[in-house]
Amino acid sequence: MNKRPLILDLDFTLLHLESQFGVIEVPGRTRSAYLSLNVVRQLHDLQNRFDLVLATARSWDGALWVVEGLEANGVAISGLVLEDGALWGTPDDLHAWDARRDWDHLRASLESRRGCPAFEWQHDFQACLVARCADRENAAHLMESWAKEIEPRDQLRLFRDGRKVYALPQAADKWSALQRLLGESARRAAGAGDGKNDLCWLKEITTPATFSGGDAALVACVQKRGGYVTSQSGHEGIEEILQFLGA
């Protein structure tokens, strides 16, 4: 990758739940998300100036729909950070943050814990464990239960994203994975995200951007760093960000 990186989160940044005329549908486990064709056209133009990098908590299976949809429209993805930093690389060459860890042993240990809320494993994740609960409240209780089970020597980080609870290598997050992927060029990147798990990298890059209705701490951080905060949300919001970056 020789150009300046442009790092983009997926859900509620590139992808939104509102279906409209001229979108690419990205099927999900419980609902679809959509990628605006206007955004695809903007990315097509921006790739002449930027190397495009996706940074998401999705698995490779979950991100593949986006990568293939963009490639079908002439937009190449140069790099990926997946599973909230536990997996990184290029579409053709992905690396686990901690390839030696025995996730099956940890899964068995967590399954044996009594009194946990009901959950099911998402087996499409390769480099961490992800459990899905019926709702956010049960996911919060599950994370509390896991926190009591996990010991410091396990060197794990727990992270909740809606109804999902992640157990990842302790040092793995989007920023640490972006540094492995991009090296020194990570800090000169431009990028956009909307969630708490985007704060770790948006506070480090040169040109951060977010949505006015996003996480309050994230908005404050972007404003403090002189980045860009949209006046709109959804598909129109990401179009606004990409228009700013292309100016």
183 and 164 in a common domain:
no
Q: Of 223, 142, 170, 164, which is closest to residue 28 (Cα–Cα)?
A: 164
Q: Of 88, 10, 1, 82, which is closest to residue 47 (Cα–Cα)?
A: 1
89, with CB counted inside 10 A (0-12, 13-18, 19+), is: middle
DSSP state of 30: S
Residue 162 binned pLDDT confidence (cut-offs 50, 70, 90): very high
Q: Which residues contact 100 (CB under 8 A, 6 or more apart)?
A: none
201, with CB counted inside 10 A (0-12, 13-18, 19+), is: buried
Contact (Cβ atoms closer than 8 angstroms) between residue 88 and residue 173: no
Q: With the C-alpha atoms ordered 56, 58, 60, 66, is the resulting torsion angle positive or negative?
A: negative
Contact (Cβ atoms closer than 8 angstroms) between residue 180 and residue 53: no
Domain boundary among 154, 169, 184: 169
Q: How many domains does the chain have?
A: 2
49 and 75 in a common domain:
yes
* The pLDDT of residue 30: 81
220 and 198 in a common domain:
yes
| CATH code, domain with 31 | 3.40.50.1000
18 and 87 in a common domain:
yes
* The pLDDT of residue 113: 81
222 and 150 in a common domain:
no
91 and 55 in a common domain:
yes
pLDDT over 90 at 222, yes or no: yes
pLDDT digits (tens, 9 = 90+) for 13-35: 999 999 988 888 998 878 899 99
* The pLDDT of residue 104: 94
pLDDT digits (tens, 9 = 90+) for 166-212: 999 999 999 999 999 999 999 999 999 999 999 999 999 999 999 99
Map residue 185 onto helix, strand or coil. helix
210 and 88 in a common domain:
yes
Q: Name the pairing type of β-strands 156-161 and 93-96.
A: unpaired
* The pLDDT of residue 199: 97
* The pLDDT of residue 127: 97
238 and 176 in a common domain:
yes
78 and 197 in a common domain:
yes
Q: With the C-alpha atoms ordered 146, 152, 154, 156, is the resulting torsion angle positive or negative?
A: positive
Question: What's phi and psi for 79, nearest 5 deg?
Answer: -150, 160
214 and 241 in a common domain:
yes
Q: With the C-alpha atoms ordered 116, 117, 119, 121, is the resulting torsion angle positive or negative?
A: negative
Total Cβ atoms within 10 A of residue 123: 11
- Which residues sit opposite 82 in a β-bridge? 87
Contact (Cβ atoms closer than 8 angstroms) between residue 172 and residue 190: no
* The pLDDT of residue 247: 73
Query: pTM score, two decimals?
Result: 0.96
**Full domain range(s) for residue 136:** 103-169
123 and 178 in a common domain:
no
- Tokens 């060197």 appear where? 155
Q: Which amino acid type is present at position 203?
A: K
